[in-house]
Amino acid sequence: MSKTLVVFAGHYEDLFDEEGSKGIYTDTEADGQYEEYDSNIVIARHTVEELSDVDGLRVLFPQKNGADYRSLRARVDYCNRNGADMVLFIHSNASSARSAHGACAFYYYTSGEGKRMANIYRDEMQDAGYPLWSNGTYGCNPDDGWSNFFVVRKTAMPVLLTENFFFTNPKELREYLQDGKDLKKIGHIHARVACRSLGLSTNKLGDGAYSSSADPEITGVYGEGDRGPGVKRRQNLLLKLDYDMDGYGADGSFGPATVEAVKAFQKKHGLAVDGMVGPKTEAKMKEVLKAKNDSSDDSEEVKQLKTFNDNYRLESKVNDLRFYGNPSWSDEDKYGTVDAGIGFPKVERLVKVGRGRQYEVVNSNGDHFYITAAEKFVTLKETDTTPSYVGRRVESHYNGRVRFYNAPSWEDEHHVGSLTKGQGFPEIVEKVNVGGGKQYKAKNSNGEVYYVTSNENYVQVV
């Protein structure tokens, strides 16, 4: 009976540019920008290619024609809907400690089959001479917080999530994740892991060796027709030097627009004009970029592009979408995340933040945050000018007493009673500002008016 394997490369292209989210390590010595997806997708493609001739195996690879922008939940649903026997989620790791190193496989902590698969990965990586992080395997446990990976927890079949070295470790980034030979070898290892885990023969797999001496990852010379993360890294250098390649941007494909941008750069800086990026052209790009950065302000430029009235709200299209306390893409300014269908009741303005765009949004307590404006991740919806809470019930969900008043006040002289959990008022009239806070003006079943806090930590609208 045929086996079904689903393969996903972790994250997707342009995730940092669009969302300011995971999978990025900037300002390395080797290049100007690296996105985790760049190596994930190469490993995944090599894995799928090696498995193409294996008897008794059906491989599903949704990213075979390019980036797949579905949410984590949608990826899990895809695996479950197709009745996979095994799922491979291919990633590389990150840490605030630049010395963190090695490869590791994650599985759900109660899954014996998942643990067996992880052990196979560990053994294959060791046999190939690669370093391991910790002991090379880790059981994802929802109770430990940091390893509560959604795709591992929610997928109905055995899952292996591989973290192939640390892209925050400059040595591993350079030696493994930006090296075409190693990416192919790691893909070969994943193919062997899949076959061994599913009880299939490995006889039709290759040996994971690079055969093309003309491959740009080996020669260091990139030209028209080349594709992949090496091309994208060099295109990112061109973008930072203000060559937009006719709007194609860093798409990983060395096309005519990239050729013309390279020629323009070479001509401007006295290099041989051949439209190819070899060591000399690349070194000059980095030299010019460094001079440009040294002469510019390091702060992220913020520019207002558009303002909104009160008739728009924002909803996320994906799970785990970051939002920030300031107009920024920095981890330091990350405030929280929202899931698909969740968002903010008010959109105040659109701003340009660095190379991307964000909406300034306001939550129900009047707090201001910033979130990506990319249509792939968020949508704006018109709202009724009447606030959604008007006419609805407000009740306490606090394990204690919530005071209410006979006037818009926080003073004891106006305190007339308290709500316990589940108690409330059947009709909200409006929300009012009281001192430094807000209250709901609400009616009881007799039509009498009272005032109670609108703070979501104490009450909820139902």
Going by pLDDT thresholds of 50, 70 and 90, the confidence category of residue 269 is very high
Pairing of strands 402-405, 415-419: antiparallel
Residue 216 pLDDT = 59
Going by pLDDT thresholds of 50, 70 and 90, the confidence category of residue 274 is confident
Which whole number is the average pLDDT over 171-178? 85
| Bridge partners, 399 (sequence order) | none
Domain parsing of the chain, residue ranges: 3-198, 217-294, 302-382, 394-461
Phi/psi of residue 293, nearest 5 degrees: -70, -40
| Bridge partners, 453 (sequence order) | 439
- Indicate the CATH number for domain 217-294: 1.10.101.10
Q: Which two tokens stand for residue 402?
A: 């919530």
The strands making up 159-166's β-sheet, listed across from edge to edge, are 57-60, 3-9, 86-93, 159-166, 103-108, 132-140
Residue 213 pLDDT = 46
Going by pLDDT thresholds of 50, 70 and 90, the confidence category of residue 386 is confident
- Residue 147, CB-side half-sphere exposure with 13 Å CA sphere: 16
Q: What percent of the chain has pLDDT over 90?
A: 44
- Using CB atoms within 10 A of its CB, is residue 13 exposed (0-12), middle (13-18) or buried (19+)? buried
Residue 27 pLDDT = 43
The alpha carbon of residue 186 and the mean position of all alpha carbons in its chain are separated, in whole angstroms, by 23
Residue 2 CA: distances (Å) to CA of 55, 57, 158, 199: 8, 5, 16, 11
Residue 59 pLDDT = 96
Predicted model pTM:
0.52
Write the pLDDT tens digit of every residue in 17-75: 433 344 444 444 444 456 778 788 889 989 999 999 999 999 999 988 765 667 788 89
**Contact predicate 73/340, CB 8 Å:** yes
Write the pLDDT tens digit of every residue in 221-243: 788 888 777 788 888 888 888 88
Going by pLDDT thresholds of 50, 70 and 90, the confidence category of residue 344 is very high
* Burial per residue of 119-154, b for 16 or more beta-carbon CB atoms within 10 angstroms, e otherwise: bbbbebbeeeebebbeebbbbbeeeeeebebbbbeb
Going by pLDDT thresholds of 50, 70 and 90, the confidence category of residue 85 is very high
**Contact predicate 347/312, CB 8 Å:** yes
3-198: what fold? Aminopeptidase (3.40.630)
Weakest-pLDDT range from 57-71, 122-136, 387-401: 57-71
- Higher pLDDT pick, 379 / 66: 379
Residue 332 pLDDT = 76
Answer whether residue 101 shows pLDDT above 90.
yes
Going by pLDDT thresholds of 50, 70 and 90, the confidence category of residue 116 is very high
Q: What is the mean pLDDT of the chain?
A: 84
Of the candidate CATH numbers 3.30.1380, 3.40.50, 2.30.30, 2.60.120, the domain formed by 302-382 belongs to 2.30.30
Residue 460 CA: distances (Å) to CA of 234, 389, 433: 51, 10, 18
Q: Which two tokens stand for residue 106?
A: 């994650």
Residue 61 pLDDT = 94
Residue 217 pLDDT = 53
Q: Which two tokens stand for residue 84?
A: 């996979």
Write the pLDDT tens digit of every residue in 422-436: 999 999 999 998 877
Whole-angstrom distance, CA of residue 89 vs CA of residue 12 = 12
